Amino acid sequence: MNTIPTPRPLAHWACAFAFALAAGRAAADAPLPVASVETVTIFDTYQAWQDAPVADWRAANERVQAVGGWRTYLRESQGDTTGDDAHAHHHHH
């Protein structure tokens, strides 16, 4: 009994491996088609910073007081739009 493999089957496997390796390399070397892509960046729509015009701070404070003070803005920021006590602290003279 011969338990050592003969060179012929090994040669077939070696040739098949070499052929598969060469075919894979040829496919890897072939240029791939590239799709046309339009690049859009955040800088395409960038708007430079602009200072807000200076406003009269007294008028701004009076406006806040007229709508109910800082508590009104707090309620608005928390989603409370019921207005149940939004005008509770207003005193009209």
**Residue 88 domain flag:** no
**Residue 14 domain flag:** no
Q: What is the pLDDT of residues 60-83, one digit of tens each?
A: 999 999 999 999 989 999 987 665
**Residue 62 domain flag:** yes
Can you give the residue range of the structural domain that contains 65?
51-81
Q: How far is CA 79 from the centre of its chain?
A: 27
Average pLDDT over residues 78-93: 60
**Residue 72 domain flag:** yes
Whether 1 has a pLDDT exceeding 60, the answer reads no
Task: Take residue 70 and report the two structure tokens written for it.
Answer: 């800082």
Closest by CA position to 22, among listed 14, 31, 33: 14
DSSP symbols for 50-91: -PPPP--HHHHHHHHHHHT-HHHHHHHHTT----SSTTTT--
Say how far apart CA 2 and CA 28 lie, in whole Å.
42
Whether 2 has a pLDDT exceeding 90, the answer reads no
10 or 5, greater pLDDT: 10
Confirm whether pTM is higher than 0.85: no
Q: What is the pLDDT of residues 9-51, one digit of tens each?
A: 666 677 677 777 776 665 556 677 778 888 889 898 899 999 9
Count the domains in the chain.
Answer: 1
**Residue 74 domain flag:** yes
